[in-house]
């Protein structure tokens, strides 16, 4: 059969480690990423520069080694995957002109990372309000700070590097407002997990720039006409109901309540999913990163949000398993014990973080009737509540009645909030197309291999 | 290295390698389209191609995600 032993989708820490360990085992590997450079989210960097941060030197070495051992298809978007008799077909669009073609492979590694998980609040669609990851990507990948005076809000340890990065770039960070954590920075879970260096580094960066860090606080509304000019910051109770509030001036907001693993491709192939501690649907994998579907593997955030270090480790594990499975048929455990034990530790830590920073239901009280939940189809919360009054009891029937999640983003941004409003856990997304594809592109679809 | 693109005919500087969306945001242009129903202004939100808030027309090609499209010298960006 033609094609590759392995196609990896995603060039972040998980995908690069997976592709490299498989290539080093002698497999014929192609790695596909939508972006122009390897790095994914954590190692995102500007054109003409190198990634920075913990582990960056190793990542750069891995990328160099990978370039000589595997085919790198950057600026290539995967929009669908299909399982055939003895191979997986990967549908790709190449470059800005979106030239369609397909790749055939004996195994597939899904390392597509995650995207931000925002919660709606009045004014969250005002220009200048960005997701926390969006603000980070803009700074790391483009060298552009989100604003001159930025408020950082939401929940989770990710708010710390976002605020520290902005402060170091000379931005005035008006405050970090963490909705959870009555413990404050001094007893941050990062410290308990032996990641003191990381936590203290961020803490020192914030203190050095006199950035206030407030727990049990959050941005509950953004104001302005064509751009955000100020926000309402509220003190919250344990369920995130507003106790008191004040106004903070700013020209940008970076807000995030965790991440949503991108599992569209795995769902297309029928891989079994489960829920992680933060309520997200994730791909169910075994110790070797095998999904429930033969020849299909997943690593990094799609198997549960755990950060760059765990992503890399899962990628390596997947690469080793894939080489083993192709050589000797499926089954068995080729993963060295040290890797497995480190993985278990990191996963336990990821779970502890998710449990320390849950989303509490009180955010639903922040919404006004006309607050948009779905930004694409402009569906206010009142229409969602009407749909529920009409008998819609789950996110799927709400979607049919009120149309949230039917627009361009296919519910990626509002899906979590709609599920919360419906009182259910988010279900695995069914998206037959993982990236928008034009009709013209569909017409041009041809079967060929890249050269 | 840097160069210029135009936004509705107005020049905007770009640092080599930047996306159209990043260049606009850096120039203080934070919105470049209005929503269909309520005409609300929209610009960057997720920054990584997921939300589709940042759609823009570049050299006549409609509905491009500004946060993903790399800017090239002389690009003509039209807002709506
Ligand atoms: C916007 C954003 C910014 C973040 N910034 C940081 C940070 O600064 N520090 C930090 O500690 N953590 C950050 N994170 C958390 C991040 O999830 C992890 O740190 C880490 O990057 C996860 O590694 P990964 O390999 O699993 O996925 P990622 O690093 O996300 O890599 C996934 C890759 O898959 C590609 N991809 C996805 N779908 C497709 C497709 N259909 N076709 C082709 N390519 C595809 C993406 O382009 C991406 O490069 C960020 C998350 C987000 C969403
Ligand atoms: S900012 Fe979200 S798609 Fe461009």
Q: What is the CATH number of the domain that holds A168?
A: 3.50.50.60
Least confident of A20-24, A33-37, A226-230, A344-348: A344-348
Strand, coil or helix: A134: helix
User: What are the tens digits of pLDDT across the range A185-208?
Assistant: 666 666 666 676 777 788 888 889
User: What are the tens digits of pLDDT across the range B30-77?
Assistant: 999 999 999 999 999 999 999 999 999 999 999 999 999 999 999 999
- Examine the domain organization and report whether A214 and A313 are in the same domain: no
pLDDT at residue A120 in the model: 98
Q: Smallest Cβ distance to A46: which of B17, B30, B45?
A: B17
Residues 6+ apart with CB under 8 A from A57: none
| Two tokens, residue A148 | 């001159």
Q: Where are the domains positioned within chain B? A: 2-78
> CA-CA distances (angstroms) from residue A62 to A11, A182, A321?
11, 40, 18
- Asked if A220 contacts A237 with a C-beta cutoff of 8 angstroms, the reply is no
Strand, coil or helix: B77: strand
Ordered alpha helix ranges (H), A98-174: 132-142, 159-168
Give a yes or no: residue A310 inside a domain. yes
- Examine the domain organization and report whether A444 and A421 are in the same domain: yes
Q: A36 to chain B: which residues are within 8 Å by CB?
A: 70
- Examine the domain organization and report whether A319 and A385 are in the same domain: no
Cβ neighbours, 10 Å, residue A210 = 9
User: What are the tens digits of pLDDT across the range A263-297?
Assistant: 999 999 999 999 999 999 999 999 999 999 999 99
Indicate if the pLDDT at residue A91 is higher than 60: yes
- Examine the domain organization and report whether A234 and A176 are in the same domain: yes
- Examine the domain organization and report whether A310 and A390 are in the same domain: no
User: Do B53 and A375 lie within an 8 Å CB cutoff?
Assistant: yes
Give a yes or no: residue A13 inside a domain. yes
Indicate if the pLDDT at residue B27 is higher than 60: yes
Q: Angle, nearest 10°, between helix axes A159-168 and A132-142?
A: 40
Indicate if the pLDDT at residue A449 is higher than 60: no
pLDDT at residue A173 in the model: 98
Residue A226 CA to ligand 1 center (angstroms) comes to 30
| A311 in contact with ligand 1, CB cutoff 6 A | yes
User: Do B41 and A115 lie within an 8 Å CB cutoff?
Assistant: no
pLDDT at residue A428 in the model: 92
**Which residue is listed with tokens 């206030």?**
A212
Indicate if the pLDDT at residue A448 is higher than 50: no
pLDDT at residue A194 in the model: 67
Q: Rounded to the nearest 5 degrees, what angle is found at the Cα of A42, between the Cα atoms of A76 and A9?
A: 30
Identify the residue with better confidence: A185 or A160.
Answer: A160
Indicate if the pLDDT at residue A441 is higher than 80: no
- Examine the domain organization and report whether A377 and A289 are in the same domain: no
User: What are the tens digits of pLDDT across the range A363-421?
Assistant: 999 999 999 999 999 999 999 999 999 999 899 999 999 999 989 999 999 999 999 99
**Which residue is listed with tokens 């990062």?**
A190
- Examine the domain organization and report whether A124 and A250 are in the same domain: yes
Give a yes or no: residue A360 inside a domain. no
Minimum CA–CA partner of B17 in chain A: A47
Fold entry, domain B2-78: Ubiquitin-like (UB roll) (3.10.20)
pLDDT at residue A2 in the model: 60
In percent, the amount of chain A with pLDDT more than 90 equals 82
Give a yes or no: residue A358 inside a domain. no
Q: B37 to chain A: which residues are within 8 Å by CB?
A: 378
pLDDT at residue A435 in the model: 85
| A320 in contact with ligand 1, CB cutoff 6 A | no
| pTM given for the model | 0.96
pLDDT at residue A450 in the model: 47
A199, A226, A256: which is the final residue of a domain?
A256
Q: Distance (Å, rounded) from C-alpha A73 to C-alpha A37? A: 10
pLDDT at residue A182 in the model: 63
A327, A353, A379: which is the final residue of a domain?
A353
- Interface membership of A370 toward B (CB under 8 Å): no
- Residue whose Cα lies nearest atom 3 of ligand 2: it is B49
Give a yes or no: residue A392 inside a domain. yes
Atom of ligand 2 nearest to the CA of A409: 3
pLDDT at residue A367 in the model: 98
- Interface membership of B46 toward A (CB under 8 Å): yes
Domain that holds residue A434: 368-450
pLDDT at residue A1 in the model: 45
Residue-wise over A113-141: b if at least 16 C-beta within 10 A, else e?
A: bbbbbbbbbbbbbbbbbbbbbbbbbbbbb
pLDDT at residue A191 in the model: 67
Atom of ligand 2 nearest to the CA of B66: 4
* Count of the separate structural domains present in chain A: 3
- Examine the domain organization and report whether A155 and A186 are in the same domain: yes
The arithmetic mean of pLDDT across residues B9-25, rounded, is: 97
Give a yes or no: residue A359 inside a domain. no
Gyration radius of chain B over CA positions: 12
ipTM of the complex, rounded to two decimals: 0.98
Q: Smallest Cβ distance to A408: which of B16, B43, B52?
A: B52
- Examine the domain organization and report whether A193 and A296 are in the same domain: no
- Examine the domain organization and report whether A266 and A252 are in the same domain: no
- Examine the domain organization and report whether A141 and A97 are in the same domain: no
- Examine the domain organization and report whether A299 and A410 are in the same domain: no
Indicate if the pLDDT at residue A331 is higher than 60: yes
Q: B15 to chain A: which residues are within 8 Å by CB?
A: 143
Give a yes or no: residue A154 inside a domain. yes
- Asked if B23 contacts B32 with a C-beta cutoff of 8 angstroms, the reply is no
A291, A324, A353: which is the final residue of a domain?
A353
The arithmetic mean of pLDDT across residues A93-115, rounded, is: 95
Nearest-10 Cα torsion for A197, A201, A203, A208 = 150
């Amino acid at each position: 059969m033609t094609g590759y032993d392995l196609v990896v989708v995603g060039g972040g820490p998980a995908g690069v480690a997976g592709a490299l360990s498989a290539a080093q085992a002698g497999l014929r590997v192609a790695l596909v990423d939508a972006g122009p450079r390897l790095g994914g989210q954590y190692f995102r960097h500007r054109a003409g520069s190198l990634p920075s941060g913990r582990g960056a030197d190793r990542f750069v070495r891995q990328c160099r080694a990978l370039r000589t051992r595997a085919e790198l298809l950057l600026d290539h978007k995967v929009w669908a995957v299909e399982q055939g008799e003895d191979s997986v077909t990967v549908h790709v669009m190449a470059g800005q002109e979106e030239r369609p073609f397909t790749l055939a492979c004996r195994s597939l590694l899904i390392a597509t990372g995650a995207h931000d998980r925002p919660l709606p609040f009045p004014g969250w669609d005002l220009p200048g309000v960005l997701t926390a990851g969006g603000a980070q990507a803009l700074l790391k990948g483009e060298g552009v700070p989100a604003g001159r005076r930025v408020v950082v809000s939401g929940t989770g340890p990710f708010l710390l590097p976002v605020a520290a990065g902005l402060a170091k770039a000379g931005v005035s960070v008006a405050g970090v407002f963490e909705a959870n954590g009555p413990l404050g920075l001094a007893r941050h879970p990062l410290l308990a997990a032996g990641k003191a260096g990381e936590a203290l580094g961020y803490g020192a960066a914030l203190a050095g720039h006199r950035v206030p860090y407030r727990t049990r606080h959050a941005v509950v509304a953004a104001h302005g006409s064509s751009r955000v000019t100020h926000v309402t910051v509220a003190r919250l109770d344990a369920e995130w109901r507003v106790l008191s509030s004040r106004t903070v001036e700013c020209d940008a907001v970076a807000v995030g309540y965790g991440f949503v693993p991108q599992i569209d491709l795995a769902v297309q192939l029928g891989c079994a999913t489960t829920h992680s501690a933060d309520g997200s649907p994730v791909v169910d994998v075994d110790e070797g990163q095998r999904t429930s579907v033969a020849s299909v593997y997943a690593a990094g955030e799609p198997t549960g949000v755990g950060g760059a270090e765990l992503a890399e480790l899962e990628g390596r594990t997947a690469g080793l398993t894939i080489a083993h499975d192709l050589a000797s048929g499926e089954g068995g455990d080729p993963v060295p014990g040290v890797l497995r034990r480190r993985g278990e530790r990191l996963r336990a830590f990821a779970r502890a973080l998710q449990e320390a920073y849950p989303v509490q239901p009180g955010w639903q009280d922040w919404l006004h009737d006309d607050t948009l939940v779905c930004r694409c189809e402009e569906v206010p919360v009142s229409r969602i509540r009407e749909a529920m009054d009409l008998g819609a009891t789950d996110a799927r029937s709400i979607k049919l009645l009120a149309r949230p999640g039917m627009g361009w983003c296919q519910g990626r941004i509002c899906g979590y909030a709609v599920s919360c409003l419906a009182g259910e856990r988010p279900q695995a997304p069914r998206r037959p197309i993982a990236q928008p594809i034009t009709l013209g592109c569909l017409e041009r679809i041809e079967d060929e291999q890249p050269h | 290295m840097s160069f210029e693109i135009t936004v509705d005919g107005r020049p905007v500087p770009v640092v080599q390698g930047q996306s159209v969306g990043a260049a606009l945001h850096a120039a203080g242009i934070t919105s470049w389209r209005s929503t269909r129903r309520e005409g609300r202004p929209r610009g960057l939100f997720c920054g990584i191609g997921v939300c589709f808030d940042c759609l823009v027309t570049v050299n006549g090609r409609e509905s491009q995600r500004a946060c993903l499209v790399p800017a090239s010298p002389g690009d003509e960006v039209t807002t709506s």
